[in-house]
Amino acid sequence: MAVMKPARDAMKEHYQATLAWLQQYPELHTLISLCLLILGAWIANWVVKRILVRGLYRALRSTSIGQDKVLGDSHVVRRLANIVPALILTSGIKVIPHLPEAVVTVVENVCSAFIILTIALAIGGVLNLINMLYQRRHNAHLKPIKGYIQVVTIVIYAIAAILMVAALIDRSPLILLSGLGAMAAVLMLIFQDTLLSLVASVQISSSDIIRVGDWIEMPQLNADGDVIDIALHTVKVQNFDKTITTIPTKRFISDPFKNWRGMQESGGRRIKRCLYLDQTSVRFLSPDEIARLQRFLLLGQYLSSKQSELLSWNTELAEAAQEPANTRRVTNIGTFRAYVELYLRQHRGINQNMTLLVRQLQPTADGLPLELYCFTNTVAWAAYEGYQSDIFDHLLAILPEFGLRVFQHPSGADMRELRPNLHAPKQAEGGTQLSS
């Protein structure tokens, strides 16, 4: 202890001598002090980030929270670590000798603004982290909070910007805030899209208009696909051709669109398609045709009950029943309509608990529409198209059994079939002239 005291006194005397020598050269003294301050800030930054922050991350890795990749990539702690060198510069710049007061004020103001910016970025990182953790919930797509997070982030950045400007100009932030009242109209004009998007986001969330995962259709914007992201300003839709359509959030309030969520949740997808029948092929069935159709498994019971009903009706007519026009008879189109309904009732791909109709629509120039209105028991696109094609394949193929024809406009093949019939009368006329 007695040996260390003389050494300490010697170091003190050496320091005072060096300081006295430096005071003879003010510029050199200031330069060396600045270098030492910058070196101290760098060392503090290195110690905090390389030792403290890394040590904290290593300690957290042993816990369930630290093993989370999302938490590990947030960099919130690293951003907060930047405050340490800024605080050292703010405190140390005041003790630098022979430094102009203006330089000291500028450095303090810049460091204060940097600290405010760092805190704002850290808070923004925390909000993003909250949003990512919220999206892990199984029902997060029902009530997304990304729009609200973005609003809070904008407010924080706006406050941070005001505080940074106030720190840089060394004025109270209240002075800037008092001036914002006069600029309210200008700010509303500048941020009108943001305000409209905010209102739209609130309405979308409160009214449950769209969710992430919904299939929406907005033809005016060429959007037809699944919603993959709902943000403050935009909604991203991945179309079925894998392209991405970005739609302003406010358009979902002002423009009409179709949401297929109800169909997806119902478990059934609608089939609404018509068979256009040639009206000239509609007629009554003969007894032989009825007997032949009774062999159909689906029509046996229907035709038996129908014939009993018609027989009872016609019997009541007495002598008037001798005129066929007064009687009720079985038609091929009515029998076919009953067959289609019974066929759908037995089809494994049709949802029997939802609406099922086979109806005639108003005749058109393109034939007599026979509409099928039913729902499949799946919402998968491929399976739906398969069931629909299977049904109409069968109906088109079995139509001739009922004496019906599908209407279609004349094609090239029809004209080629008609051509020999047009030449036949001419050939017959020529042969008659030769024989005479």
423 in a domain, yes or no?
no
* 22, 162: one domain: yes
**Core vs surface per residue 283-293: b (16+ CB within 10 A) or e:** eebeeebbeeb
Instruction: Work out the average pLDDT over 257-283.
Output: 91
Quick one: pLDDT band at residue 144, thresholds 50, 70, 90?
A: confident
Q: For the segment 371-406, what is each residue's pLDDT rounded down to a tens digit? A: 999 999 999 989 999 999 999 999 999 999 999 999
Tokens of residue 201, six digits: 């986001």
Instruction: Work out the average pLDDT over 55-63.
Output: 68
70 in a domain, yes or no?
yes
Quick one: pLDDT band at residue 61, thresholds 50, 70, 90?
A: low
* 16, 153: one domain: yes
199 in a domain, yes or no?
no
Range name among 63-72, 317-326, 394-403, 416-425 with the lowest pLDDT average: 63-72
Q: Does 62 have pLDDT greater than 70?
A: no
Phi/psi at 172 (nearest 5 deg)?
-70, 140
Instruction: Work out the average pLDDT over 148-176.
Output: 82
Taking all residues of the chain, what is their mean pLDDT, rounded to a whole number?
A: 81
Q: Domain range holding 143?
A: 9-180
Tokens of residue 86, six digits: 């800024």
Quick one: pLDDT band at residue 72, thresholds 50, 70, 90?
A: low
Phi/psi at 283 (nearest 5 deg)?
-160, 175
Quick one: pLDDT band at residue 175, thresholds 50, 70, 90?
A: confident
Quick one: pLDDT band at residue 8, thresholds 50, 70, 90?
A: low
* 283, 394: one domain: yes
* 234, 376: one domain: no
Q: What pLDDT was estimated at residue 180?
A: 64
* Residue type at position 57: Y
401 in a domain, yes or no?
yes
Alpha carbons 205 and 371: distance in angstroms, whole number? 39
Range name among 217-221, 302-306, 353-357, 432-436 with the lowest pLDDT average: 432-436
CA neighbor of 370 nearest in space, from 339, 346, 349: 339
* 275, 302: one domain: yes
Q: What pLDDT was estimated at residue 387?
A: 95
Cβ atoms of residues 376 and 383 within 8 Å: yes
Q: Does 19 have pLDDT greater than 80?
A: no
Q: For the segment 104-116, what is each residue's pLDDT rounded down to a tens digit? A: 888 888 888 888 8
192 in a domain, yes or no?
no
* 217, 365: one domain: no
CA neighbor of 151 nearest in space, from 132, 178, 131, 170: 131
* 176, 231: one domain: no
CA neighbor of 230 nearest in space, from 244, 245, 249: 249
Q: What percent of the chain shows pLDDT beyond 70?
A: 78
Residue with tokens 């630290």: 66
196 in a domain, yes or no?
no
* 23, 157: one domain: yes
Length of the chain, please? 436
Assign residue 249 the CATH number of its domain.
2.30.30.60
* 404, 292: one domain: yes
Quick one: pLDDT band at residue 3, thresholds 50, 70, 90?
A: very low
**Count of structural domains, the chain:** 3
Q: For the segment 278-321, what is each residue's pLDDT rounded down to a tens digit? A: 999 999 988 899 899 988 888 988 888 888 888 787 777 766 66
How much of the chain is helix, strand and coil, in % rounded to 5?
A: 65, 10, 25
Q: Does 338 have pLDDT greater than 60?
A: yes
Instruction: Work out the average pLDDT over 333-338.
Output: 94
* 87, 130: one domain: yes
* 155, 219: one domain: no
Quick one: pLDDT band at residue 329, thresholds 50, 70, 90?
A: confident
Q: What pLDDT was estimated at residue 389?
A: 95
Q: What pLDDT was estimated at residue 322?
A: 64
419 in a domain, yes or no?
no
Region for 65 from its dihedrals, namely left if φ exceeds 0, alpha if ψ lies in -120 to 50, beta otherwise: alpha
Tally Cβ neighbours within 10 Å of residue 225: 20
Please list, in sequence order, all residues whose beta carbon lies within 8 angstroms of the beta carbon of residue 341, skipping any fewer than 6 positions away.
Answer: 356, 358
319 in a domain, yes or no?
yes
Greater pLDDT, 148 or 273: 273
* 275, 241: one domain: no
Q: What pLDDT was estimated at residue 236?
A: 94
Provide the whole-model pTM.
0.57
